[in-house]
Structure 1
């Protein structure tokens, strides 16, 4: 399945929208159960785009992907519209965007960890993931151990970075990039020798056989939607109820199959 990266124009519009929302947030808007919202009648979602197939901008200019479709369905089940704001991953996993009232929740393939749970309130897990190593198809590397003396690219602030720094050979150089787009461009240009990150994202970057998965690494990681650590108890309850309903009525499986089933 092929996906299109966001355009430069989309990036500009997203930044403008982020600024506008940050300025207008913090009102008395709330859900039917009384959970506070940044904007009335809207579930405002912060994400880090592109990170295909979880979040990206489609050919129609709309935000799409597994996280986006899941969040849109959750919003609809709560009787809300959905608005997406693009932000840096560091701002997401640290909770900065929530503290600034830029959004109500974060949907950005965020792995639930004890460290992040100190600053964020997580929903029930909605996706289990593996880490993986992506290399050029002609690379002799068949494992992370084979990357000795090589350059491994990671996205800054992710669990992929943690895994690479903890498990890569001492002689390997781990290079951090701000976005998945920059990371893959560096691999295409030969600036780095491999990419270590979540398996679904690397699978989307095999580019017709030009790159291949050298290894996968089970880390017990699960993604969760995130909200403010304090004061979001009712919102998390509503989100968990929507996730449970989607699993029960088959909607979760329908969305999952669209992005992850061949």
Structure 2
């Protein structure tokens, strides 16, 4: 499933509508949950709407919906373990969580450390800017890379956005890594950076929420990424069960329905 970005204004409108849909999700448990055969401990960093975030003090979003459905498929109870993004893989490897369901992209370095499920969603990176009219000449990724030598680019530490920009925009005026997307957004709004590179669904949601401040996405994709769920390599049975769930959810249409609830124009 992919996201088309040729109609940014329409997309922002439906993303805003989608963000208003409530989902009944499990209440986050205490920070440390012991392993239990009846529990699926789901590692989340709930600061990335529409994928995973807090709504009315509950963990919500696309990943939260899928976690609840996955747990039901496994005859387990889903409990959300809130983990800082940079601690997601260490928490999994330390057996503090059973799976990462927090908008994680498949990358080779991550594959060396953990096992991934089959991809469930095709996404990519986008650039969030202030005052879109200043960037109308950016029509494709090539012109974006060429122009980046004049930009101060913001990224979130430890994300594929940071790795991508450090590789592709070595001539950037500055690359500034933030602890989370909210810090990057504040820097963009204050004019301390010229663009913020992050996952497309999150960029679109941020743009929808801050339209009145002139925050807009550039309507281009910088790359292709595949989102999946992370598990320990010493848990092959869980990986197989999760893959079976993904196959079933795609066959019966529940995967597409859930994705469209949170990202309405996904194809």
Q: Give the Cα–Cα distance (whole angstroms) in 1 for the partners of residues 67 and 161 of structure 2.
A: 24
Q: For structure 1, list consecutive stretches of 5 or more residues without a partner in the other structure.
A: 5-12, 26-37
Q: Is the 8 A contact 1:48 1:87 kept in 2?
A: yes
RCO comparison, higher one (Cα < 8 Å, 6+):
2
Q: Is the 8 A contact 1:144 1:169 kept in 2?
A: no
Find the counterpart in structure 1 of residue 119 from structure 2. Answer: 125
In the TM superposition, what whole-angstrom CA distance separates every residue of 1:70-105 from its partner, at most 9, and x where no partner exists? 11111111111111111122222xx21012221100
Of 243, 253, 256, 1:253 maps to 256
Find the counterpart in structure 1 of residue 83 from structure 2. Answer: 87
Deviation of 1:184 after TM superposition, in Å, equals 1.5
Find the counterpart in structure 1 of residue 71 from structure 2. Answer: 75
Q: Give the Cα–Cα distance (whole angstroms) in 2 for the partners of residues 139 and 228 of structure 1.
A: 46
Q: Give the Cα–Cα distance (whole angstroms) in 2 for the partners of residues 114 and 171 of structure 1.
A: 25
- In the alignment, does 2:75 pair up with 1:62? no
Q: Give the Cα–Cα distance (whole angstroms) in 1 for the partners of residues 71 and 255 of structure 2.
A: 14
Find the counterpart in structure 2 of residue 149 from structure 1. Answer: 150
- In the alignment, does 2:98 pair up with 1:104? yes
Q: SS in structure 2 opposite 1:133?
A: strand
Q: Give the Cα–Cα distance (whole angstroms) in 1 for the partners of residues 250 and 127 of structure 2.
A: 31
Number of residue pairs aligned between Structure 1 and Structure 2: 233
Q: SS in structure 2 opposite 1:118?
A: helix
Q: SS in structure 1 opposite 2:46?
A: coil
| Root-mean-square deviation over aligned CA pairs | 2.0
Find the counterpart in structure 2 of residue 32 from structure 1. Answer: none
Q: Give the Cα–Cα distance (whole angstroms) in 2 for the partners of residues 168 and 211 of structure 1.
A: 22
Which shifted more, 105-114 or 137-146?
137-146
Normalised by the length of structure 1, the TM-score is: 0.82
Of 240, 250, 255, 1:237 maps to 240
Question: How do 1:130-209 residues align onto structure 2 when only pairs under 5 Å count?
Answer: 130-138=124-132, 140-141=134-135, 142=138, 143-168=144-169, 170-206=171-207, 207-208=210-211
Q: For structure 2, list consecutive stretches of 5 or more residues without a partner in the other structure.
A: 1-14, 21-26, 139-143
Normalised by the length of structure 2, the TM-score is: 0.81
| Runs ≥4 residues deviating over 3 A | 1-4
Deviation of 1:107 after TM superposition, in Å, equals 0.7
Deviation of 1:144 after TM superposition, in Å, equals 4.0
Deviation of 1:215 after TM superposition, in Å, equals 4.7
Q: SS in structure 2 opposite 1:107?
A: strand
